[in-house]
Amino acid sequence: MTTTVSARIDDRETLDALTHTTGVTRPVLLTGGRVRTLDAMIGEWAEADVLLGGDRIVGVGPGLITAAGDDNAIVVECRGGTVLPALIDLAAPLGSRKNRFDTDAGSITPGKRADIVVLRPNTPADRFTADDIDIMILAGRVVFWRGEPVGEPPATTPADPSLTAGDHDYAGMWVDETGFLHQELLPNGRYDETRGGRPHAYQGRYWINGDRIDYLDDLGFWAFGEFRDGVLHHAGYVLHRR
């Protein structure tokens, strides 16, 4: 019982250190976990460390813990868990990229952005769900800690499109340059497409956020478009307001 309480206190102190900045950025050391870098050159370890500096990965491998005191690092215990990139780049472990650094994420490679997840102990790294995530760090910032979100959850798209339907000036009929596609954006947050003279080819809901439009068709698929200089670009079509 004493060990459990002590561990919880240590965890709380660690989280406080991670989330309360004092103007001085301390390195963060994830230690003792199974590290799968998904970097074809670096590989993986059954037990190793990952060192973060700000929003970057600055080191990975066994033995980094020996300098934690020298660096005044915040040490995060990951023993029994698996450390993985939060964003997966399947080309990286295959070694199929000519330049390992041509993306800023996708592997635990020194110099890349610190986007990392730590799975709960005994979770298979090739078969897990969101419920198995113990810690998540995005761009060096802790957003998930010991299975719980940190801070306010991000805003989500409202279930009712009418809640945002009146917040834009894009309602009306949009027609592509060939006349094949007619897309009507209705004021109530729904759209209705005519294709090649076939009415109601696609119908569904839409949301607009700035210059972006997201569609959820009644058939169940999602799509998007962008408004640029008064023109709607959607799925390869260029549409003008009629």
CA–CA dist 146, 148 (Å, integer): 6
What is the enclosing helix (H) or strand (E) of 8?
helix 2-19
End-to-end CA distance of the chain: 71
Mean pLDDT of 70-91: 90
pLDDT of the residue at 167: 66
CA–CA dist 116, 140 (Å, integer): 8
CA–CA dist 43, 100 (Å, integer): 13
Q: Does position 35 have pLDDT exceeding 70, yes or no?
A: yes
Q: Does position 242 have pLDDT exceeding 80, yes or no?
A: yes
Record the pTM.
0.67
Q: Where are the alpha helices (DSSP H) in 46-203?
A: 68-71, 91-94
pLDDT of the residue at 125: 80
Q: So where are the chain's domains?
A: 2-149, 161-241
**Cβ–Cβ < 8 Å for 120, 135:** no
pLDDT of the residue at 119: 95
Q: Give 90-148 pLDDT, tens digit per residue.
A: 776 666 666 666 677 789 999 999 999 999 998 988 788 889 999 999 999 999 999 88
2-149 topology per CATH: Urease, subunit C; domain 1 (2.30.40)
pLDDT of the residue at 165: 52
Of 12-26, 46-60, 91-105, 191-205, the poorest mean pLDDT is in 91-105
- Please provide the average confidence, as pLDDT, over all residues in the chain: 85
Q: Does position 50 have pLDDT exceeding 50, yes or no?
A: yes
Q: Give 161-210 pLDDT, tens digit per residue.
A: 544 555 688 999 999 999 999 999 999 999 999 999 999 999 999 999 99
pLDDT of the residue at 137: 95
CATH architecture of 161-241: Beta Barrel (2.40)
Cα–Cα separations (whole angstroms), residue 158 to 21, 164, 167, 226, 227? 33, 8, 13, 20, 21
